[in-house]
Amino acid sequence: MSFDHVALLPAYLAAATAVAAFLADLIAPGRGSAVAGVTAVGALATGVVAILVGRGPVRRTFCSADCSYVADHRAALVAALFAALTLAVVALSVPVPRLGEYYFLLGCAMTGGVVLGYAGDLITLIVALETLTLPLYILVALKRGTVDAAVTFFIVSVVSTAVALLGAALLYAGTGAVHFGRLVAALETGHRLPLTTAGVVLLLAGLSFKVAAVPFHAWAPPAYDGAPLPVAAFLSTASKLGGVIAILYVALDALRPAYDIVAPTIAVLAVLSMTVGNLVALRQDRMVRLLAWSSVAQAGYILAPLAARVPGAAGAAATLGYTFLYLVLELGAFGAVIALRGDDDGGAIADYAGAVRRAPWAAGALALALVGLAGLPPGLAGLFAKVVVVRALLATGTGWLAVVVALNAVLGLAYYLRAAATLFAPTPAAARTRVPWPVAAALVGATVAAVVVGFAPQLVLAATQP
């Protein structure tokens, strides 16, 4: 068996980043910024190499009958995204001294994400996803007094993984295949057993835990709120991206012939997620909880295009496009929260009153991100994100879901706007908040990206086209 090391290069680099972070911490204990620098360089290199590899021809490796590792254009995009998100989260983490293993764990999680993009079979996919998630249990628990949240996260996660594995096992039992291509072939030709149906649904259900889709979302709000803010940012961006990619691959690559089961399952998940997420978010008075519940709702929008009756590239492109725009905005929101509040705690929404006087740029960025997440100008990126989803749904004749998405946007605006308006609430003048430069850089990066893709969404749409 020969390995295509070029195709594997991004995965190597990601793993190397984790190892380097670990070693750097050993060599220079207590020098947090050096470790962070090493991690950042590693993440950057991973991303760049992923893109370079992706520009070449499609490469496959770990092949038997079919390949477990496929380095195509889409995989490169996913890997680069994970690297970029890791880089941003590292930047957001720098100002506060971390335990040595912090960056190592981030690197590990990134490795999982990068490999996930290249996954060509269910086993690789689930393992990569677990690699992405496992370090997060520890990262969430890093903050004092939040073990409860971490344990909930852990237990629910284990249950979900079990469900996903059960689903994969049932599928294997029904079809004898784990590779995407062969699953398609088997499902197309063979008679479909009830067992297969259950396998499809359970697999999707297990995976939807990662995107915090309802009803597999309960872990997210306490975990986000309990985690250090950069970790929460990672959870709501990279971890969610992992779930989205997993579902996308499974739904479109592996289970395409079973789309008559996939579509309604995802539709149920999407509708529940956006509705429940938005409704509960209405009642949140802590900033991070609000973002957490809103990200539950966003998961619903993300999944919605996949609920079209016919599996299609359009739906996948819409999901990817929306995800990308969401990541940019969500990162901007967390970056701004960190810039305003420091590392530890998002605090109550009421604490943000008058933030625009203390830190006009950061507060402006937060407002832009929130409004963007709500999908309104001046957050044009968010507006186009909604347009992408609705358009995809209507193009595939899933009009009812488009209406549900649209109405949920109204619910969403209610709380996003409440948070955004608080920033501008009149308060007595206060001292300016100082924002550390790495945080500022990450925030500027995210905000500029949001503005750029707001005016030129074609960049995203072109990148996500199949």
Partner 1 sequence: MNGVLAGALPAVPLLVALVGLLLPLRARRTAAALGIAGAAVALADAVALAARVKSPTTGGWRLVDFGGGLVVHVSYLLTPAAAVVAVAVGTVALAVQVYSVSYLHDDGRYPPYAAQVSLFTAAMLLVVVSGDLILLLVGWEVMGICSYLLIGHDRTLPEAPAAAVKAFVVTRLGDVGFLLGIALLALAGHSFDVATAGARPATIPALLLLAGVAGKSAQFPLHTWLPDAMAGPTPISALIHAATMVAAGVYVVARLYGVFTPVALAVLGVIAAVTMLLGALAATAQLDIKRVLAWSTVSQVAYMAGGLAVGVPAAALFHLLTHAAFKALLFLAAGAVIHAVGSNLMTRMGGLRAAMPVTFWSMTVGLGALAGLPPLSGFFSKDQILAGAWGAVRHAGPAPRWVAVVVLLAGLATVAVTGWYATRLWLRVFFGPLLGAAHDPPALMGWPIILLAVPSALLGLVVQFAGTFPGLDWLSIGALLLAVAGGAGAWRLWRRGADAVPAVLANAFYLDDVQDALVVRPTLALASAVRRADESLVDGAVEGTGGGALGLGALVARWHRAALPRAATAVLGGALLIGIAAIVLVGLR
Partner 2 sequence: MTWVLVAVLAVPAVGAVFRSRAVAAGAAAIAFLLSVALATGRSDGGLTGPIRPWHQLDVSWVPGLNLRFHLGVDGISYPLVVLTTLLTLLCCVYLLWTDGDGTLAALLLVIEVGIVGVFLALDLVLFFVFFEIVLLPMYAVIAGWGGAGRRPAARKFVLYTLFGSVLLLVGVFVVVSRAGTADLVVLSAQHMLPADTQLAAFILLSIAFAVKSPLWPLHTWLPDAHTEAPTVGSVILAGVLLKMGTYGLLRVAVGVLPDGARRVAPVLGVLAVTAILVGGLVCLAQTELKRLIAYSSVGHMGFVLLGIATLTATGFEAALIGNVAHGIITGLLFFLAGAIKDRTHTGDLSELGGLRETAPYLSGILGYAAIASLGLPGLAGFWGEAFAVIAALRRGGPLWTVLAVLAALGGALAAAYFLRLLYRVTHGAARPAVVGIGEPVPGELVAWAPLVVLALAVGLVPALVLGVAQTAVQVMAP
What's the min distance (Å) between Cβ of 269 and partner 1? 9
Three-state DSSP at 71 gives strand
The amino acid sitting at 48 is: V
Q: Does 421 bind partner 2 (CB under 8 A)?
A: yes
Taken as a whole, the chain contains a residue count of 466
- CA torsion angle for 241, 247, 248, 254 (degrees, to 10)? 150
Q: Does 206 bind partner 1 (CB under 8 A)?
A: yes
Q: Does 457 bind partner 2 (CB under 8 A)?
A: yes
Summarize the chain as % helix, strand, coil (round to 5).
75, 5, 20
Binders of partner 2: how many residues, by CB under 8 A? 33
Burial 9-22 (b: 16+ CB within 10 A, else e): bbbebbbbbbbbbb
Question: What residues from 223 to 262 belong to the interface with partner 2 (CB under 8 A)?
Answer: none
CA dist 336 and 327 (Å) reads 14
Q: Does 423 bind partner 2 (CB under 8 A)?
A: no
Instruction: Indicate which of partner 1, partner 2, none lies near residue 391 (CB less than 5 to 8 Å, by partner kind).
Output: partner 2
Q: Does 146 bind partner 1 (CB under 8 A)?
A: no
Q: What are the φ/ψ torsions at residue 286 (nearest 5 degrees)?
A: -110, 140
Q: Which is nearer to partner 1, 202 or 442 (CB)?
A: 202
Is 140 within 8 Å of 148 (Cβ atoms)?
Answer: no
| Residue selected from 56, 176, 360, 377 as contacting partner 2 according to rule CB under 8 A | 377
Q: Which parts of 342-457 fold into alpha helices (H)?
A: 355-358, 360-374, 380-395, 399-423, 437-455
The amino acid sitting at 319 is: T
Q: Which stretch binds partner 2 (CB under 8 A): 136-144, 254-262, 437-445, 454-462?
A: 454-462
Q: Which is nearer to partner 2, 106 or 369 (CB)?
A: 369
Instruction: Indicate which of partner 2, partner 1, none lies near residue 381 (CB less than 5 to 8 Å, by partner kind).
Output: none
| Residue selected from 29, 56, 97, 215 as contacting partner 1 according to rule CB under 8 A | 215
| Residue selected from 81, 139, 183, 201 as contacting partner 1 according to rule CB under 8 A | 201
Among candidate residues 406, 376, 407, 374, the one with its CA nearest the CA of residue 391:
406
Q: How far is CA 35 from the centre of its chain?
A: 24
Q: Does 463 bind partner 1 (CB under 8 A)?
A: no
Q: Does 426 bind partner 1 (CB under 8 A)?
A: no
Q: Which stretch binds partner 2 (CB under 8 A): 162-170, 278-286, 339-347, 411-419?
A: 411-419
Q: Which parts of 283-312 fold into alpha helices (H)?
A: 287-303
Q: Does 266 bind partner 1 (CB under 8 A)?
A: no
Structure tokens, 289? 């909880």
| Residue selected from 13, 110, 132, 205 as contacting partner 1 according to rule CB under 8 A | 205
Q: Does 165 bind partner 1 (CB under 8 A)?
A: no
Q: Which is nearer to partner 2, 169 or 417 (CB)?
A: 417
Three-state DSSP at 465 gives coil
Is 254 within 8 Å of 184 (Cβ atoms)?
Answer: yes
Instruction: Indicate which of partner 1, partner 2, none lies near residue 261 (CB less than 5 to 8 Å, by partner kind).
Output: partner 1
Compute the Cα dihedral for 253, 166, 259, 78 and give only its sign. Answer: negative
Three-state DSSP at 286 gives strand
Q: Does 394 bind partner 1 (CB under 8 A)?
A: no
Q: Does 163 bind partner 1 (CB under 8 A)?
A: yes
| Residue selected from 93, 175, 265, 295 as contacting partner 1 according to rule CB under 8 A | 265
Q: Which stretch binds partner 2 (CB under 8 A): 8-16, 288-296, 427-435, 456-464?
A: 456-464
Q: What are the φ/ψ torsions at residue 192 (nearest 5 degrees)?
A: -95, 125
Q: Which stretch binds partner 2 (CB under 8 A): 183-191, 216-224, 302-310, 414-422?
A: 414-422
Question: What residues from 347 to 376 belong to the interface with partner 2 (CB under 8 A)?
Answer: 371, 376
Q: How far is CA 372 from the centre of its chain?
A: 17
CA dist 244 and 372 (Å) reads 20
Residues that bind partner 1 (CB under 8 A): 148, 151-152, 155-156, 159-160, 163, 194, 197-198, 200-202, 205-206, 209, 215-216, 218-219, 221, 260-261, 264-265, 268, 276, 279-284, 411, 414
